[in-house]
Structure 1
């Protein structure tokens, strides 16, 4: 096969962009990964086995899909845009990979997901957070997910105590998964280029998952991360927080046939709990996962809940 010159490659690339240009819908956050080396790097990070079923979210025109098909047993691609789904199907028709590809047309967030071993996603930015939590709630647990996000979102996922971007999202995700930053991806690797830089993370669910009620855990984090640099005592002293916790406590007591003490005072009780574990003067921005779990357990043992 004759080798293409740089001029011919540039010409072909331009034709490719013109051909697919009308297909892209910026409202759906469609930015197709065009760099084959980056695409291969992402697939390599998944460490696919020949027996794996891979879930791909937002396959677009299939630049990642064809590389996954070469290594996996089956690819289930969830695509919202019927035009892109048709392009992807056309791309594999008549090839040995055709039988390995199953396209699910529809909104990922409304789609009932099948079994899969690995997930790979060039994620539409507007569904980044819902996508992560939908994956973490999926059963049976998958082995890992290789996910592309807007860089700041990715850095929030992997942030540690004391980091500027450490937040409620960081702690909620790290409760259920080990998260690592694996690759930066510049905006010029996409067609059309997005306005922000991207990063790829590897997410590996903890198996078995910790026996923690996610809504209750998030309820605690909501209180603590509203003002993450304030002391925990200051956050818990807010009137709205105290009123909510008092209502929850009384509801719990009623449901369990327990009497509420005549001299009951929620503020005294809450601050006493924090003092008992030396957490009154610490700040959420510096606490780690074990600290948050200790706080939740101590409050729950005192029959105070956050949902």
Structure 2
């Protein structure tokens, strides 16, 4: 008779066995297990005894407990109801129970509470939208200490001319000061992710630059799709100028301005770039101040990107 194959065993870590939890990869659940890194993140956040701390994706509460030791209050946002139950059991009957508020749901889809500091090992697939949700949150928070996939973290801090310099870099640096704090290897998590990680500190600029962020976003989208091309080349492209001309005519109409029959938006843009001596600039080498200056130059001339 043929041998009956035994059921294939899978290696699961002790915490899963103990708690009966299988982590959900769809939620990006990789629990930070190294206590030295957890302590380091809490210390870098410089939490005050009067602070309310926001944590997104608390998991089994390893970081949460350390935050509760330092803060007046911790608000933990968790989408997985199984982990919510584990976190509640972990603090039940301890002095931390009254200091912890757990919000069940997707942090991206709900309004964030008031907080002074954010410390989190976040699901990597929500990194970009979460960063900007935090930076646009009001009132301003003091700082955020966050764990990211390493390449994402390097993009946040990339400078003009760097290979990883992109729209994420310039948009983040417009609104915040960003610093790399520490590298974190895969084996510091369970289950280990496929990528290396970095802890990053983000401090919002308060007040933020006095610009229209929709316009800023429109301009940077156009330029970074073609970040290696010169401004002169980008603004000669029909798809780009068609959108700009549409906005220009709408704004002229709103302001009761009549445009000449032979109005040519390409010619107008070329004149502006040549006058300002910026025809050869490229997005990949422009810093935040360069983009702010360019947006201002265009706006003064009635050219808008939103």
Question: TM-score by structure 1 length?
Answer: 0.94
For residue 221 of structure 1, report the CA deviation from its aligned partner.
Answer: 0.6
Instruction: Summarize the alignment of residues 117-128 of structure 1 with structure 2, pairs less than 5 Å apart.
Output: 117-128=116-127
Query: How big is the alpha-carbon RMSD for the aligned residues of Structure 1 and Structure 2?
Result: 1.2
For residue 180 of structure 2, what is the aligned residue in structure 1?
181
Q: 1: distance between equivalents of 2:287 and 2:13?
A: 49
For residue 269 of structure 1, what is the aligned residue in structure 2?
268
For residue 21 of structure 2, what is the aligned residue in structure 1?
22
For residue 66 of structure 1, report the CA deviation from its aligned partner.
Answer: 0.4
Local SS of the residue matching 2:21: helix
The answer to whether the 8 A contact 2:16-2:22 is kept is: no
C-alpha distance after superposition, 1:8-43 (max 9, x if no partner):
xxxxx9532433463310011000001111111111
Local SS of the residue matching 2:62: coil
Q: 2: distance between equivalents of 1:21 and 1:172?
A: 42
For residue 263 of structure 1, report the CA deviation from its aligned partner.
Answer: 2.3
For residue 114 of structure 1, what is the aligned residue in structure 2?
113
Q: 2: distance between equivalents of 1:196 and 1:100?
A: 34
For residue 124 of structure 1, report the CA deviation from its aligned partner.
Answer: 0.6
For residue 152 of structure 1, report the CA deviation from its aligned partner.
Answer: 0.5
Q: 2: distance between equivalents of 1:24 and 1:211?
A: 43
Q: 1: distance between equivalents of 2:26 and 2:95?
A: 34
For residue 120 of structure 1, report the CA deviation from its aligned partner.
Answer: 0.9
- Larger helix percent: 1
Local SS of the residue matching 1:146: strand
Q: 2: distance between equivalents of 1:252 and 1:87?
A: 56
Q: 1: distance between equivalents of 2:296 and 2:20?
A: 53
For residue 186 of structure 1, report the CA deviation from its aligned partner.
Answer: 0.5
The answer to whether the 8 A contact 1:23-1:83 is kept is: no
For residue 92 of structure 2, what is the aligned residue in structure 1?
93
Uncovered stretches (5+) of structure 2, i.e. residues with no partner: 1-11
Local SS of the residue matching 2:17: helix
Local SS of the residue matching 1:119: strand
For residue 8 of structure 1, what is the aligned residue in structure 2?
none
Instruction: Summarize the alignment of residues 39-188 of structure 1 with structure 2, pairs less than 5 Å apart.
Output: 39-188=38-187
Q: 2: distance between equivalents of 1:14 and 1:131?
A: 29
The answer to whether the 8 A contact 1:57-1:78 is kept is: yes
Local SS of the residue matching 2:171: helix
C-alpha distance after superposition, 1:151-175 (max 9, x if no partner):
1011111111011000001111111
Q: 1: distance between equivalents of 2:121 and 2:276?
A: 43
C-alpha distance after superposition, 1:125-144 (max 9, x if no partner):
11111100100111000000
The answer to whether the 8 A contact 1:223-1:236 is kept is: no
**Which contiguous aligned blocks of 4+ residues in structure 1 show a shift greater than 6 angstroms?**
none
Q: 2: distance between equivalents of 1:169 and 1:215?
A: 15
Q: 1: distance between equivalents of 2:170 and 2:289?
A: 10
